[in-house]
Structure 1
Amino acid sequence: MRLAKAGRAAGRPRRPETDDAILSAALALFMEGGLDGASFEQVARRAGVTRATIYRRWSSREALVARALGRLKEQGEEPLGRWQDVSLETMIGMIVEHGPKGWIETDARRLLARIMGSVPDSPQLIQIFWDVYAAPRRTAFNAIVAKAKSEGILPEGTDPDVFQTMLGGAVMYKLLLEPGEKSEEELRAFILLVLRQLGLGEILDRLGL
């Protein structure tokens, strides 16, 4: 009986540039035409690869688009560093500084509209994105809020999950339902108003915001 050589690869290594091309194509097509516009055939054509290349990496277009959205989220969080470990004050400062710019650069209005439009017809996409990308980050941010509450920075009755939902929901409402294009400066001013309504005026004052 012959034994396989130790350390032998199971197959050809995946090329990062191929993954990048596929994910970029999937995100662009999703933003242009929603999930229906991001079929494997369309993504393959846009990325310059075969459908078999995509099938070897992702089992469904929902999984592919969810990964593309997740990568975009990860890239948007890069300026924040290891934000899971910071204080609420530091986190708020980073949100105010980096958030509006990131939302404008990623065309967040169109992206959010596509994601919300996928909820009725593509619950699998939303579930994958929530489980793999949104929920862990939400849990981390809730921990930051809970720590601030335990230190007396926030009122004892603060619910971390509701706190985060109010902040995120306000931004989504501003981007999706209010008519007119939004500038980076306008979004930043709105976020500051929301944060003050959430009881973070003292933190903002200390940050000079």
Structure 2
Amino acid sequence: MEQKKLAGRPRDPEIRKRVLLAAQRVYVRAGFSGMTFEAVAREAAVGKPAIYRRWASAEALMDDVLSSHVLVPDRSMRGEIRPVLRAIAMSVLRLAHSEEGAFVLRVSSERALHPKLFDQYFERLRSVIHFQNRALIVEATSRGELVENCNPDILIQTITGSVLVSALMGFTVAPDKDEEGAARYCDDLVAQILRGVASDPTRR
């Protein structure tokens, strides 16, 4: 009589998501050198064999974390440039005060140590986020809202850089803790920047 093959233990369909999130959190706290399978397994509350079955090394796990860490731009932003710039500033401010933002900053700080791992990640960030926002600046310039020699890259960097420094230095709080204060900061920042690049003095 033919024997039936015993079914193995079913895999947890959520385990990959849990491990990737755990790896992200461990990395933010301890850096790549501290992102061991043991630490990740403890954070994810799974056994180490469950990680070894899916990833051959810490590098492979980090590569999966980076590939799954997608910051989706707000494609609804269109129209007059002032509210668009405010929306960009608020988006960066929310990111700066989030787990995702902490991850981006940690990757940035270790980029020179692990260029093969991290360079492609930043290339993707630029192509997805920066260049969409850049296109919005170019559109506004073509409509005559901004001066003709406005540099779209510098304008976006001015906004994002100002927001990130402000968050890092503790000059702003998370929008989910003080929505009005965050909105006021973004309004003031955009107004200050537009004084230098708006083509129409009434828009400044």
Does the alignment reach a TM-score above 0.5?
A: yes
CA contact 1:40–1:54 (8 Å) conserved in 2 = no
CA contact 1:38–1:61 (8 Å) conserved in 2 = no
Count of residues paired in the alignment: 179
Residue number in structure 2 paired with 1:63: 63
Residue number in structure 2 paired with 1:51: 52
Residue number in structure 1 paired with 2:39: 42
Residue number in structure 2 paired with 1:5: none
Q: Where do residues 7-156 of structure 1 align in structure 2 (5 Å cutoff)?
A: 17-47=14-44, 48=46, 49-55=50-56, 60-68=60-68, 70-71=69-70, 73-74=71-72, 77=73, 80=74, 82-83=75-76, 86-87=78-79, 88-89=81-82, 91-95=84-88, 99-106=92-99, 108=101, 110-111=102-103, 113-156=105-148
Q: CA deviation at 1:191?
A: 2.7
CA contact 1:100–1:188 (8 Å) conserved in 2 = no
Structure number having the greater helix percentage: 1
Specify the SS of the correspondent of 1:129.
helix
Taking the aligned partners of 2:160 and 2:90, their CA distance within structure 1 comes to 16
CA deviation string 1:94-149 (max 9, x = no partner): 335555445434374x4454233212312234312112233222111111110111
CA contact 1:30–1:38 (8 Å) conserved in 2 = yes
Distance 1:163 1:192, change over 3 A: same
Taking the aligned partners of 1:141 and 1:96, their CA distance within structure 2 comes to 11
Distance 1:196 1:188, change over 3 A: same
Q: CA deviation at 1:30?
A: 1.3
CA contact 1:29–1:38 (8 Å) conserved in 2 = yes
Specify the SS of the correspondent of 1:94.
helix
Give the root-mean-square deviation of aligned CA atoms.
3.4
* Greater alpha carbon shift after TM alignment, 46-55 vs 149-158: 46-55
Taking the aligned partners of 1:21 and 1:127, their CA distance within structure 2 comes to 25
Taking the aligned partners of 1:139 and 1:106, their CA distance within structure 2 comes to 23
Gap regions ≥5 residues in structure 1: 1-13
Residue 157 in structure 1 maps to residue 149 in structure 2: yes
Taking the aligned partners of 2:84 and 2:171, their CA distance within structure 1 comes to 29
Identical counterparts, % of pairs: 18
Gap regions ≥5 residues in structure 2: 1-10
CA deviation string 1:16-62 (max 9, x = no partner): 62331122111111111122222345334433232221349x96244
Distance 1:199 1:90, change over 3 A: closer
Residue number in structure 1 paired with 2:4: none
Residue number in structure 2 paired with 1:192: 187
Distance 1:92 1:138, change over 3 A: same
Normalising by structure 2, we get a TM-score of: 0.69
Normalising by structure 1, we get a TM-score of: 0.67
